[in-house]
Structure 1
Amino acid sequence: MEGFSKNFTSATAFYLLLVFLCICINSSIAINYGAEKASTKFIKTSCSTTNYPSLCFTSLSSHTNAIQTSSRLLAQTALSVALNHVALTSSALVRLSKAPGMKPREVGPMNDCLEELTDSIDELKRSMGEMSQLNGSPNYALLISDIQTWVSAALTDEDTCMDGFDGKAGNTKNVVRGRILNVVHLTSNALSLINNYNSLHG
């Protein structure tokens, strides 16, 4: 009987421990779900003020954990996404420029475009470096001004790349303009979110 009592007590303790663990896990899931839902709503609301809100939301909605509900982290993530897409686009256009079938009249604009994208990547990287220093910096005004200038310059470079193919016919023009238009929109959204952050914290 004593053995049964001990076994019963052990079983009860184990059961209670399982119940406690389940409660903790469910609470954690509920908290995480609530935080993710709040972040998703924050991103959607913030993106509604950009020039391309749908693209803004789809490009950032998978980064809720990184963004949370911080306008600074939102702007920083949007900048990172833009930089990543510019780099991928540049690599894709390098491959395209080396593919057979490139027409002589497209070679010049393609080379110019790749140069513009290299400048854009450099400017966005510099902006990312400054963004990481913004929080609580005594040089906030100078840093945010530099960031806005560099991202604006990157946007201009991307536009210039695309403009180089104006009046050109053929598949290369369509491929380039399609890819560049996407990074132009992403960079434009990043700049809008940076400006929004500055208006709140400047």
Structure 2
Amino acid sequence: MEGSSVKITSAQAFLVLIISFNLCISSALAIDYGAEKASAEFIKTSCSKTTWPSLCFTSLSSHTSAIQTSPRLLAQTSLSVALSHVVSTSAAMLRLSKAHGMKPAEVGPMNDCLEELTDTIDELKRSMGEMSQLNESPKYRLLISDIQTWVSAALTDENTCMDGFAGKTGSTKNVVRGRILNIVHLTSNALALINNYNSLHG
């Protein structure tokens, strides 16, 4: 009898342990889900203030863990996403420039476009570097001004690239326009989120 009682107590203790463990896991998952949902809502609300809110949300919604509910991290991540797309677009444009079949009239604009994208990459990289120093920096005003200037310059360079193909016809123009428009919109959204963060910073 005594031995049987010990076994039952051990079984009960083990069962309690399993239940407690499962409750802990469920609680952790609930907290993670809650934080992810809060971040997604924060991103959606913030993106509503940009010119292309749908693109803004879809481009940033997979980064909830990095963004959380921080306006600074949101702006920083949007810059990173824009930079990543500019780099891939520049590589695609370079491949296109070396492809056969490009019209002679398109060669000049394509080379100019590649130069503009190189400048854009440099400007966004510099902005990213400054963005990482913003938090509690005594030089906040100087840094945010530099960032806004560089991102604005990047946006101008991207538009200049696209303007070079104005009046041209053919598939190359359509490919360039589609790719450049995407990074123009991403960069514009990033600038809007940077400006929003700055307004909240006071």
TM range (shorter): over 0.9
Q: Residue 89 of structure 1: SS of its match in structure 2?
A: helix
Specify the code of the residue in structure 1 equivalent to 2:25: I
TM-aligned CA deviation for residue 32 of structure 1: 1.1
- Give the CA RMSD over aligned residues: 0.8
Partner of 1:187: 187
Partner of 2:31: 31
Specify the code of the residue in structure 1 equivalent to 2:23: I
Q: Deviations over 1:3-23 (max 9, x none)?
A: 322222221111000010111
State how far apart, in whole Å, the 2-side matches of 1:3 and 1:176 are.
Answer: 81
State how far apart, in whole Å, the 1-side matches of 2:101 and 2:191 are.
Answer: 37
> Where does structure 1 differ by over 4 angstroms across 4 or more consecutive aligned residues?
none
Partner of 2:121: 121
Structure 1: gaps (5+ residues): none
Partner of 1:45: 45
State how far apart, in whole Å, the 1-side matches of 2:97 and 2:6 are.
Answer: 78
What is the number of equivalent residue pairs in this alignment? 202
Matches of residues 48-197 of structure 1 in structure 2 within 5 Å?
Answer: 48-197=48-197
State how far apart, in whole Å, the 2-side matches of 1:102 and 1:169 are.
Answer: 11
Q: Deviations over 1:38-79 (max 9, x none)?
A: 111111110011011110011111111111110000000000
How much identity, in percent, do the aligned residues show?
79
Q: Tell me the TM-score normalized by structure 1.
A: 0.98
Q: Residue 84 of structure 1: SS of its match in structure 2?
A: helix
Specify the code of the residue in structure 1 equivalent to 2:67: I
State how far apart, in whole Å, the 2-side matches of 1:100 and 1:49 are.
Answer: 43
State how far apart, in whole Å, the 2-side matches of 1:96 and 1:72 are.
Answer: 36
